[in-house]
Amino acid sequence: MHIMDIFQNAISAKATFISLDVVEDTFHNFLKLEITDNGKGMTEEIVKQVTDPYFTTRTTRHVGLGLPLLKQNAERTGGSMSLESEVGKGTRISAQFVLDHLDRPVSGDIPGAVVLTAIANPETGFAYSHTKNGKRYFFSTTEAKEALGNVPMNDPIVYRYLQEMITENLNEIGVSLTS
């Protein structure tokens, strides 16, 4: 859910490209998520406040829980979260978790999150990199669109095809999608 929330924030910030890098290292016992976008970015003032659950730039509700919860979940495992942003250039959010910590949230359906967001926002480019113990898988919507030819990204058959393709490739590098 953290990934989907950050993706939605990036899309709301008019990002035309979003990248997700996941690194799992069982030898050093960490899981790192890094999401980068080229959206409108945030001022220094907003960056200082954005992890406060009672701060939000939204007008539809008076709390902003996405980044505060991500930070809390990372820190609860002994990890950390950092955020860098520059107005007009974009934002980078990085969260590191102790991999085997009891309080680490499960990774969930990362392929589903990536594919669902990509097909719902075909004008936005996405890249997803997943590395486990030095073995890496990379997916990009640019490459997917080239392979699909005239078939649009939001065609219903494409969702299942891309999700299965990503899942199979993750399985090949040893990624378990249930933990």
Please write the tens of the pLDDT for every residue from 145-161.
999 888 888 888 888 89
> Residue 134's Cα: distance from chain center in Å?
20
Let me know how long the chain is. Answer: 179
What average pLDDT does this structure show over 83-102? 95
Please state, rounded to an integer, the average pLDDT across all residues of the chain. Answer: 89
pLDDT confidence band for 33 (50 / 70 / 90): very high
User: Who wins on pLDDT, 64 or 138?
Assistant: 138
Query: Where do the domains of the chain lie?
Result: 2-172
Angstrom distance (rounded) from CA 108 to CA 167:
12
CATH fold of 2-172: Heat Shock Protein 90 (3.30.565)
**pTM for the whole thing?**
0.89
CA distances from residue 97 to 15, 28, 107, 151, 168 in whole angstroms, order as listed = 26, 11, 11, 38, 25
